[in-house]
Amino acid sequence: MRVLVALGTRPEVIKLAPVIVALQRRAEVRVCASGQHREMLQQTLDALGLQPDIMLETMSPGRSLNVLAARLMEGLDGVLEQEQPDWVLVQGDTTTAFCAGLAAFQRQIRVGHVEAGLRTGDLASPFPEEANRSLLARIATLHFAPTQLAAAALRGEGIPEDSIRVTGNTVVDAIAQARSAWPSGVPAGLPAEIRQRLGAGPAVLVTCHRRENFGSVLEAFCHMLVRLCVQYPDIQWIFPVHLNPAVREPVHHLLARLPNLLLTEPVDYHCSLYLISRAILVLSDSGGIQEEAPSFGTPVVVMRQHTERIEGIMAGFATLAGQDPADIETAVYAWLNDADRRTALRALANPYGDGCASMRIASALYGEPCEAFHG
């Protein structure tokens, strides 16, 4: 069997890496990097020891999503014509995932959609990811739903039962693989400035990168962080700043001079996981972090109006705080002022997966039966 794996962003690399490893044991696997997020993509590929077989040049600063999609469709069509795969495997909700799925569908190539079925019910949030993931459901051959709730969403949209597999989320597989590469319990590439801050006291990890939080919303987040840093001077606030200028410019302008706030360059995957493991709390708009943090018993305040990852909230790992800084602050206070509540999370299992998702996906591509993940 010949499988083409298409990826273009950091989360796709992280979540497809263990699937690639599982498939390489029994199939011919070709990895196509779309170039959607070139710098952060390469950093993550290096951290996970992956090298793409095909690298496209599709992204340039300031281009619209439509221009990106047009370049992706043209580039991916040429790749499909050359590679002639039996399956195209895509992950999640990126423009790369949707375009690769559509290009494969239009060449009558089977499409496997990893992390299918996540929904907020609002096409504008997250944008354009909710639409990308929903549209992929119309054209995929096999839908690899990470949880029973995701599978139920697919059934509710009329997706045939025999095309749905509940696999668990591959991010849990990726975490297990990453932690096995820390022989001393600390990633080899952890920057000295982060190591120093973690040694200075309890830490809170902050991340922010989603389009819906740009502009005035992000500026309000920054003013909120100033207040939190002043109110909790004994806590180290660590903020790896996304490369997007829409994030970097306001963050560095508004947050550059706080003694207990560290603004860092984006960290690699191993260091990101280590920061989550050491943090007493995470403030984030990231979908991936919502799935990763439960493996470490770390709570998350989700800075979004909607989330397609409701399982963590239902299990008590996360608070969906919205975009209003007052509501986010209230959620932060609730977690930071209740150590017992935070400690209780350490005994709970990750509701998103059990570390066997990649094996289930590989089996499904070969038409083999496999026990579903139940959470």
DSSP string for residues in 34-77: --TTHHHHHHHHHHTT---SEE-----TT--HHHHHHHHHHHHH
Q: What is residue 113's three-state secondary structure?
A: strand
Q: Read out DSSP for 198-252?
A: HTTS-EEEE----GGG-THHHHHHHHHHHHHHHH-TTSEEEEEPPS-HHHHHHHH
Inform me whether the pLDDT recorded for 140 exceeds 70: yes
Which of 121, 126, 119, 76 shows the shortest CA–CA distance to 101?
Answer: 76
209 is catalytic: yes
The stretch 243-256 carries a mean pLDDT of 90
Whole-angstrom distance, CA of residue 163 vs CA of residue 157: 13
pLDDT of residue 60: 65
Q: Which residues on neighbouring strands pair with residue 165, listed in sequence order?
A: 144
219 is catalytic: no
Lowest mean pLDDT among 19-28, 55-64, 264-273, 285-294: 55-64
Whole-number average pLDDT of the chain: 94
143 is catalytic: no
pLDDT of residue 62: 66
Lowest mean pLDDT among 55-69, 269-283, 288-302, 344-358: 55-69
Distance of CA 74 to the CA centre of its chain: 26
Catalytic residue among 12, 129, 173, 292: 129
Whole-angstrom distance, CA of residue 23 vs CA of residue 365: 9
Whole-angstrom distance, CA of residue 175 vs CA of residue 292: 8
Whole-angstrom distance, CA of residue 27 vs CA of residue 87: 11
Catalytic residue among 12, 115, 130, 292: 115
Catalytic residue among 37, 209, 270, 309: 209
Residues 151-206 have pLDDT tens digits of: 999 999 999 999 999 999 999 999 999 998 887 889 988 999 999 999 999 999 99
The stretch 343-351 carries a mean pLDDT of 95
Q: What percentage of the chain carries pLDDT values higher than 90?
A: 84
173 is catalytic: no
For residue 169, give the amino acid letter: N
pLDDT of residue 45: 86
Inform me whether the pLDDT recorded for 358 exceeds 90: yes
Q: Kindly tell me the burial class for residue 342, based on how many C-beta atoms sit within 10 Å of its own C-beta (0-12, 13-18, 19 or more).
A: middle
Q: What is residue 30's three-state secondary structure?
A: strand
pLDDT of residue 330: 97
Cis upstream peptide for 299 (omega within 30°): no
Cis upstream peptide for 128 (omega within 30°): yes
Catalytic residue among 113, 119, 165, 242: 242
Whole-angstrom distance, CA of residue 307 vs CA of residue 87: 30
211 is catalytic: yes
pLDDT of residue 357: 98
pLDDT of residue 245: 86
Higher pLDDT, 160 or 43: 160
pLDDT of residue 36: 76
CA distances from 202 to 63, 160, 187, 197, 333 (A): 40, 48, 19, 9, 15
Q: What is residue 373's three-state secondary structure?
A: coil
Using the Cα atoms of residue 318, residue 283, residue 174 and residue 88 in order, give the sign of their dihedral.
positive
pLDDT of residue 61: 66
Catalytic residue among 93, 130, 291, 292: 93
Lowest mean pLDDT among 190-199, 243-252, 302-311, 356-365: 243-252
- In 3-state terms the chain splits into helix, strand, coil percentages (rounded to 5) of 50, 15, 40
* Confidence bin at 35 (pLDDT 50/70/90): confident
